[in-house]
Structure 1
Amino acid sequence: MAFDGSYSATLSPTVSDSFGSSHILSNSISSLGSSTSSRHSPSHISKAYRQASQLFLTRRLPEALSTVLPLITPSTEGADASGLTESAPIVRASRSTRTKVWSLYLTILNAILELDPDEGKDAFGTQEWRALCNKVRDGDVWEEVVQFGYHGVEGDVDSDVVINLATLLLAHARSQALNQKRLENYLAASNTPNLDISKRLEATRSSRYSSRSRRSPSKGAASGADTPRDLNARVKILELYTLHVLLRNNEWDYAREFISVSSVLDEERRDAFLQALQSLQEDQQESERRETEERQRQEDQLKKDLEEARRFRAENEARERRRLDEERARREGSEVDYGIEQNPSSPGSSKARPTKNGSAVSKPAKSTTPKKKAVAAPGFGTRAAMILANLSNAIGQMGASFKANPMLLMRFIAFIISIVVMFSRRDIRERIQRIVGTAWSKVRSTAGMGVKVSYI
């Protein structure tokens, strides 16, 4: 005891200080590790998932997305010298939790893309909203899920997550070529479901090492390829691939061939798939036939309208010609003869002129050639009738032109709207008033000068 006491008493201050500092450093490291592990613990992930679900149900999409992102994004705090970062917390979660988190994330993205552009920009900002939309429409979200959640292994992605990804891209992707390629890669990388019960029992009696290897995130286990649930999920994936994605890419023959040679589908499912494919193809052909008939009907209607417009214009021209002929005949009938009025005797009679011896000498009659008649100007009623007839003809021709060419009406309306919009501006109205006032003052001054000159 004396030796121990003397040894403890004779410790140098330097050793004591170094021991205290190392103890404090170890405590801080352990506390940091415990906080990191608690942040990435399954309870923390489940709590964040429930919170994000509540936010999503209340349509608070920005808060829900910000709650889910730390679970699926790799942390940059633990980056080493080589630049490698710590994997996302979702990687260490159970399969069910991992599937729920990824499904919630994809559901939030789908809700974001269904927002109106103005609403999305107000909620997330213009740049972030466009980045989220482009990530889904370009198919980059699939690569994000594979890299952050499954270490870049395509076949390790859970089947439910693949279904949600394919459905999301089917609804919002610009092209289904990337969706088809991703599904083909997944189907080629993942294992075929194995429902042999004897092999399952043999696998359960295997060694502890083999059971650990099955529980590790390998290709077969991660995809859940040995359960009836995975078989149903695989059938769902095949349904999306053959009856939706391939048909969007117009791969009807390839879809039929893929269904026929698939080893996952039994005879009943294969017949159901082929029957559904045949029904969809018939529906598409019927839709194309209806579209063709509708397009032909529109073309026939357009030709009929053009013929009707030509006939209407010809009738208007004929009516106008008849009206002009009637007006001309009426004007000729109402002409007034302003020549010298003749004696009411026969045209060949001569006026007697007495001579010196009393005999009457007949004076030759003057020529009865009619002089040029002056045409009377049409009256006010005639002019009004002509103006109304011309106005009616112009309106009829304008209606026929608008009916034959609807774009002409749209241009006319756009011209009227542009004039109204132009005159709705106060500065333009004031400028036009000044111009009109200046012109009117010049006209008045010119008229005044003309009056003065006429007076002089």
Structure 2
Amino acid sequence: MAIAYDNVLSDSRMLSSVPSLSSSRYQSSQIAKAYRQAAQLFLTRRLPEALSTIEPIITPPDPDHVNGSHNGDLSAFAPVASASRGTRVKVWSFYLTFLNSVVELGAEEGKHAFGSTRWKALVSKCRDGSIWEDVVRDGYAGIEGDLDAEVVINLATLLLTHSPSQRLNQQRLETYLSASANPAFDVSSHMQSSAYLQRRPSQHNNGTSTPRDLNTRLKLLELYTLHILPRNDEWDYAREFISMSEVLDDERKEAFLLGLHSLKEEKEESETREAKLRQQQQEQLEQRRKESEARRLEQSRAEDERRKREEENRRQPRGSDEVFRKPLHRQGPSTSSHASRPAKKAVSPPPGLYNRASSMWAAMQALITNTAHSMTANPMAVFRTLLFLLAFALAFGRQDLRERIMRVLRNAWEKVRRTVGMGVKVSYI
């Protein structure tokens, strides 16, 4: 059976390679040229032109223009399906990078560049994961295990970045890992294209035949176990997959498990921080609600007090007129009598010793000055004064008169002293 299968493959290779050699070279040249032009347009941010340039080589031809069956080539699939491995990787990697940039444009700029319908269709390929199916169907004849590992990495990364759910990404990557590790030998599928006959033998070795293939395989495992499975909360399965992997040696297994543990701790810490943040936000909202309620109550009380004051102010003029009008009629005479009384003079405090001495000295000076002036102006008055003093001296010379005068003077002086003392007390009060 194995010999018959090898003969079929050999005959198919001989029949398909010779007639299509020149056309295959021409098509490869056209694919490479279209790729370079699209890349240049992409670098200059002319995204619509880049898309229109790359689309013809990644889109299958119209079925009406395909004659018969596959005829030993890939005419029913996208032109890139018949290109060399390096060209395929470049074209599909470019297209996936292009889609990532289209999504990152945003709705406003994206719709302006491509139109609303076209932009939504391109974004939908990345978010619902349908781009994976498009690449497998159009670029690899529908054979999942034939995808180039670099293209798979870019597909998984694109879905990891933009797809809200990673379930489809996990399923597709598991299917690829299983198919590439255990390829199924389907004679009818392999007879469709000589390109696949040339490409399939490299898939029989777990993708680790060269250091480059091993490095690519490690990237796939890292993407699967440390990014996609944790996004789906498949922590235990990721740990088990790493431990059971035949590709990873003990050192790499330990590194992968350590990275998985760190990622889980980071996620738990992030969830704890988010929970605390939500709690703080809830407490702040509650505090703001209480403050708002307190301000509302305060404003309500202030408004009530203001209304009460306004009501009291509106009632007060009538009440005050009634209160003050009647007493004015009844107590008119008494009010007028009180008004006619002179106001009490303010009592000034008694002068000090220095002020009294100054006043006495000024009074003596005034007396001497007035006496001198009087003597000059009216000599008769002075003469009468001298006669009075002479008579007073003669009368004062008698003892009985002198004692009587002294007694009268003492009594007068005592009255004057008491009067002055009472005045001083009143002034202090």
TM-score band by shorter chain is 0.5 to 0.7
Q: 2:61 aligns with which of 68, 75, 82?
A: 75
Paired residues for 1:328-367 under 5 Å = 328=312, 331=316, 334-337=320-323, 338-339=325-326, 341-342=329-330
2:92 equivalent in structure 1:
102
TM-score, normalising length from structure 1? 0.57
Q: Distance in 1 between matches of 2:81 and 2:206?
A: 14
Paired residues for 1:212-291 under 5 Å = 215-218=198-201, 220=203, 224-291=207-274
Spell out, residue by residue over 1:211-259, the C-alpha distance to the aligned partner (whole angstroms, 9 max, x if none).
x998443461697442221111111111111111122222222222222
1:156–1:222 CA contact under 8 A, matched in 2: no
2:45 equivalent in structure 1:
59
Paired residues for 1:12-161 under 5 Å = 36-37=23-24, 39-40=26-27, 42-76=28-62, 78-81=65-68, 86-161=76-151
1:256–1:274 CA contact under 8 A, matched in 2: yes
Instruction: Provide closer, same or farther for how the CA distance between residues 326 and 94 of structure 1 changes in structure 2, counting only shifts above 3 A.
Output: closer
Q: Distance in 2 between matches of 1:72 and 1:286?
A: 44
Q: Distance in 2 between matches of 1:64 and 1:136?
A: 18
Q: Distance in 2 between matches of 1:139 and 1:181?
A: 11
Correspondence 1:293 to 2:276 = yes
1:166–1:179 CA contact under 8 A, matched in 2: yes
Q: Distance in 1 between matches of 2:254 and 2:333?
A: 115
Correspondence 1:166 to 2:156 = yes
2:41–2:49 CA contact under 8 A, matched in 1: yes
Q: Distance in 2 between matches of 1:164 and 1:35?
A: 32
Matched position secondary structure for 2:200: coil
1:74–1:87 CA contact under 8 A, matched in 2: yes
2:207–2:217 CA contact under 8 A, matched in 1: no
2:172 equivalent in structure 1:
182
TM-score, normalising length from structure 2? 0.60
Q: Distance in 1 between matches of 2:316 and 2:137?
A: 95
Q: Distance in 2 between matches of 1:184 and 1:281?
A: 22
1:303 equivalent in structure 2:
286
2:181–2:205 CA contact under 8 A, matched in 1: no
1:159–1:223 CA contact under 8 A, matched in 2: no
Larger radius of gyration: 2
Instruction: Provide closer, same or farther for how the CA distance between residues 213 and 300 of structure 1 changes in structure 2, counting only shifts above 3 A.
Output: closer
Spell out, residue by residue over 1:91-135, the C-alpha distance to the aligned partner (whole angstroms, 9 max, x if none).
222211211111111111111222132322232232222221212
1:72–1:89 CA contact under 8 A, matched in 2: yes
Instruction: Provide closer, same or farther for how the CA distance between residues 323 and 92 of structure 1 changes in structure 2, counting only shifts above 3 A.
Output: closer
Q: Displacement, 1:160?
A: 0.2
Q: Which amino acid aligns with 1:127?
A: T
Instruction: Provide closer, same or farther for how the CA distance between residues 326 and 279 of structure 1 changes in structure 2, counting only shifts above 3 A.
Output: same
Percent sequence identity over aligned pairs = 53
1:155–1:219 CA contact under 8 A, matched in 2: no
Spell out, residue by residue over 1:304-354, the C-alpha distance to the aligned partner (whole angstroms, 9 max, x if none).
2333334444555555666677774993984533448336899xxxxxxxx
Moved more, 141-150 or 215-224: 215-224
Question: More helix per residue: 1 or 2?
Answer: 2
Q: Which amino acid aligns with 1:281?
A: K
Structure 1 gaps, min length 5: 1-31, 194-211, 347-456
Q: Which amino acid aligns with 2:214?
A: L
Instruction: Provide closer, same or farther for how the CA distance between residues 53 and 288 of structure 1 changes in structure 2, counting only shifts above 3 A.
Output: same
Instruction: Provide closer, same or farther for how the CA distance between residues 175 and 334 of structure 1 changes in structure 2, counting only shifts above 3 A.
Output: same
1:52–1:67 CA contact under 8 A, matched in 2: yes
Q: Distance in 1 between matches of 2:123 and 2:204?
A: 33
Over the aligned positions, Cα root-mean-square deviation in angstroms equals: 3.4
Q: Distance in 1 between matches of 2:61 and 2:297?
A: 81
1:180–1:246 CA contact under 8 A, matched in 2: yes
Q: Distance in 1 between matches of 2:47 and 2:300?
A: 67
Q: Distance in 1 between matches of 2:139 and 2:332?
A: 124
1:78–1:86 CA contact under 8 A, matched in 2: no
Instruction: Provide closer, same or farther for how the CA distance between residues 214 and 191 of structure 1 changes in structure 2, counting only shifts above 3 A.
Output: farther
Q: Distance in 1 between matches of 2:177 and 2:201?
A: 15
Q: Displacement, 1:62?
A: 2.0
Of the two structures, which has the highest relative contact order with CA contacts closer than 8 Å and spacing of 6 or more?
Answer: 2
1:72–1:148 CA contact under 8 A, matched in 2: yes
Structure 2 gaps, min length 5: 1-18, 184-194, 335-429
